[in-house]
């Protein structure tokens, strides 16, 4: 039997770590993010977004408790400094100290047999287990393979197993269909445009947070008009490229949110776009300036692929 394409342990360097420390840490984050942190225990993690008052995502996180009063938030490094600054503005009198703890931890991605052995057979996405000082978070699978994120203090023993390139890990992040927000696409999407409500990234029963009314209204006022899709291309793709249909090369129908080369060739991407364009030919093109028109000859043809999870119609 051949070894699965996605199997091994990769170093993860694109994520940074924000630490929230203090007896009010969970309650503070509960009031700022799209998911429930007030009821977060030591056996689970949370996918969550930090939004503007208009419901647009400024950052996305995987958050979990290391102890009763310590929560770590993992986000793209390109957004860590501005996000930390903005979150800190709202701490006020809460007993919560926010800091950049990136230098204190090592992050590794586990896929295939390496993830299965570390998590055990019963792990489901967003469950957390501890291995000494290390925290293991079960992620959504990619390419049919289980995946996990391992967060450990610097100096802790490194995980053992076959090596997986960081490039292949980044592709697995795209192939999972769950986008990590980065600087080129900040302030562009409400969470549902990235399918966050379908992968447990939004809790509609919790209390208020910045943008909560817009996020709730987007969900309950009717059919969502923009969704995240998986797409494949033969040529390179990049975050921030715009997506067009051949019939309209002036008005983009969507945006490339995250992209990575596929181990077997070509590129995969998570694309957020209008649902009405899903059955039409699609082209990815560098972002246009005002009044410009996409050049079809220089655009990259996209083919949509099935999502590895089911979109939830009712919450």
Instruction: Note the pLDDT tens digit of each residue in 191-215.
Output: 999 999 999 999 999 889 999 988 8
Across the chain, what does the average pLDDT equal? Answer: 93
Check pLDDT > 70 for residue 190.
yes
pLDDT the model gives residue 1? 31
pLDDT the model gives residue 51? 97
Q: What's CA 251's distance to the chain center, in Å?
A: 26
Instruction: Note the pLDDT tens digit of each residue in 94-138.
Output: 899 999 999 999 999 999 999 999 998 768 999 999 999 999 999
Instruction: Note the pLDDT tens digit of each residue in 32-88.
Output: 999 999 999 999 999 999 999 999 999 999 999 999 999 999 999 999 999 999 999
Distances (CA, A) of 308 to 172, 194, 267, 274, 311: 12, 14, 17, 19, 10
Residue with structure tokens 């655009």? 299
Check pLDDT > 80 for residue 222.
no
Rounded CA-CA distance 308/285 in Å is 25
- Structure tokens that stand for 147 in this block: 């995946």
Q: Are 271 and 253 in contact (CB under 8 A)?
A: no
Check pLDDT > 70 for residue 231.
yes
- Structure tokens that stand for 148 in this block: 């996990």
Q: Are 274 and 225 in contact (CB under 8 A)?
A: yes
pLDDT the model gives residue 92? 87
Instruction: Note the pLDDT tens digit of each residue in 257-306.
Output: 999 999 989 999 999 999 999 999 999 999 988 888 989 889 999 999 99
Grade residue 2 by pLDDT with cuts at 50, 70 and 90.
Answer: very low
Strand-pairing partners, residue 298, are none
Rounded CA-CA distance 201/248 in Å is 33
The neighbour count for residue 2, using CB atoms within 10 Å, is 4
pLDDT the model gives residue 224? 79
What pTM, to 2 d.p., does this model score? 0.94
Grade residue 223 by pLDDT with cuts at 50, 70 and 90.
Answer: low
């Amino acid at each position: 039997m051949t070894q699965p394409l996605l199997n091994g342990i990769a170093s993860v360097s694109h994520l940074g770590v924000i630490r929230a420390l203090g007896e009010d840490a969970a309650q503070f984050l509960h009031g700022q993010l799209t998911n429930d942190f007030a009821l977060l225990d030591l056996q689970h993690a949370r996918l969550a977004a930090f939004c503007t008052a208009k419901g647009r995502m400024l950052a996305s996180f995987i958050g979990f408790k290391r102890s009763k009063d310590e929560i770590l938030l993992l986000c793209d490094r390109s957004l860590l400094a501005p996000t930390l600054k903005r979150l800190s503005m709202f701490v006020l009198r809460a007993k919560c100290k926010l800091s950049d703890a990136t230098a204190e931890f090592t992050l590794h991605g586990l896929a295939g047999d390496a993830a299965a052995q570390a998590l055990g057979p019963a792990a489901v996405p967003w469950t957390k287990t501890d291995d000494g000082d290390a925290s293991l978070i079960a992620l959504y699978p990619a390419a049919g393979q289980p995946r996990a994120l391992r967060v450990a203090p610097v100096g802790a023993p490194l995980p053992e197993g076959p090596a997986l390139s960081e490039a292949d890990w980044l592709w697995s992040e795209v192939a999972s269909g769950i986008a990590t927000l980065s600087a080129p696409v900040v302030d562009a999407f409400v969470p549902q445009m990235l399918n966050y409500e379908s992968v447990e990234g939004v809790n509609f029963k919790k209390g208020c947070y910045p943008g909560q009314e817009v996020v709730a209204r987007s969900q309950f006022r009717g059919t969502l008009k923009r969704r995240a899709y998986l797409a494949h291309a033969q040529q390179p793709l990049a975050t921030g490229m715009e997506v067009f249909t051949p019939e309209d090369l002036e008005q983009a129908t969507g945006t490339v949110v995250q992209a990575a080369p596929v181990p077997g060739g070509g590129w995969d991407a998570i694309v957020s776009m209008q649902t009405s364009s899903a059955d039409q030919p699609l082209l990815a093109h560098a972002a246009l300036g005002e009044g410009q028109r996409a050049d079809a000859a220089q655009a990259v043809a996209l083919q949509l692929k099935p999502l590895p999870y089911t979109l939830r119609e009712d919450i």
